[in-house]
């Protein structure tokens, strides 16, 4: 079977996918014909593949509409994982409102679309501003109420660029307990990791961030697994997901909440969890054969 692992072209703002060459080699060793393919390369004939697996299309948030249109085209030519309707839903972080409506505990979020009145906190704790279409903490920053005017300029810059802005309380538990990433593959838990805080106080929103600082292995708690599974069960249409990553952080009550649900191009961190590679290979080949 022919398998495309979908990535993006190299660029100064694109992180290296350390897993990609390892996964291509492992799939070929297992009998597949696997190759890495760039999503916006017009020379790629997607119809010749039995399966296209979105892996590190990490420039998509710059061009979300173009990327989702590509997913629709690719999904019409071959089996795409995850499916195009999932891609369209998950590239816009307003999906958090859908999860909250389904009873999933999420980080409290307000959305400010272009044209909306920009009202930001002037008292209380720290808060975060970021775009509703983004990856790797791109265009995200952490503010105190005393930095209100700077945060307003941030929101207006996002609006000028056509983005909807998200405003969330800064989850203080990130500084002590970190953020946990629970990976699922083929519908089953794969492994989990923990990372430290991404947004340092005073860091400009347009400065490039380290997306996964201090990444270590993690054993998820029963509460974390329960919240992650509830989030996956709440995805509209109950689609078949080849892969998923649920990013969790503790609220002030000490209970886990969904920070993000990554169904498009989550970093798998196989370099940190090499023992997970055989399961990933097996489930990709199974998806290609089905």
Interacting residues of 228 by C-beta distance below 8 A, sequence separation 6+: 182, 184, 220, 246, 248, 258
Maximal CA-CA distance, the chain: 60
Q: Tell me how far apart the alpha carbons of residues 94 and 257 are, in angstroms, rounded to a whole number.
A: 16
Strand order across the beta sheet in which 127-131 lies: 110-112, 165-169, 127-131, 141-143
Place of tokens 């309707």: 85
Using alpha carbons only, what angle is made at residue 144 by residues 92 and 212, rounded to the nearest 5 degrees? 50
Interacting residues of 250 by C-beta distance below 8 A, sequence separation 6+: 171, 173, 177, 256, 257
Residues assigned a catalytic role: 217, 245, 262
> 73 with 42: CB under 8 angstroms?
no
């Amino acid at each position: 079977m022919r398998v495309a692992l979908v990535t993006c072209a190299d660029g100064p703002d694109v992180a290296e996918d350390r897993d990609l060459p390892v996964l291509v080699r492992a799939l070929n060793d297992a009998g597949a014909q696997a190759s890495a393919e760039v999503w916006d390369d017009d020379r790629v004939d997607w119809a010749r593949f039995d399966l296209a697996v979105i892996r590190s299309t990490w420039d998509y948030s710059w061009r979300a509409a173009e990327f989702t249109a590509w997913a629709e085209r690719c999904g019409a030519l071959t089996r795409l994982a995850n499916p195009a309707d999932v891609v369209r839903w998950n590239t816009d972080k307003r999906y958090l409102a859908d999860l909250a409506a389904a009873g999933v505990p999420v980080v409290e979020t307000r959305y400010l679309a272009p044209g909306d009145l920009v009202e930001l906190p002037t008292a209380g704790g720290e808060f975060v501003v970021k775009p509703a279409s983004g990856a790797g903490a791109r265009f995200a920053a952490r503010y105190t109420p005393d930095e209100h005017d700077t945060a307003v300029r941030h929101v207006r810059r996002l609006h000028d660029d056509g983005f909807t802005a998200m405003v969330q309380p800064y989850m203080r538990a990130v500084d002590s307990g970190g953020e946990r990433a629970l990976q699922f593959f083929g519908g089953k838990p794969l492994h989990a990791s923990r990372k430290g805080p991404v947004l340092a106080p005073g860091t400009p929103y347009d400065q490039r961030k380290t997306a996964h600082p201090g990444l270590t292995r993690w054993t998820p708690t029963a509460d974390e697994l329960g919240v992650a599974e509830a989030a996956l069960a709440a995805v509209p249409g109950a689609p078949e997901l080849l892969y998923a990553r649920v990013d969790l952080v503790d609220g002030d009550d000490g209970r886990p909440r969904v920070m993000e649900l990554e169904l498009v191009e989550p970093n798998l961190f196989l370099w940190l969890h090499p023992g997970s590679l055989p399961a990933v290979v097996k489930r990709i080949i199974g998806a290609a054969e089905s």
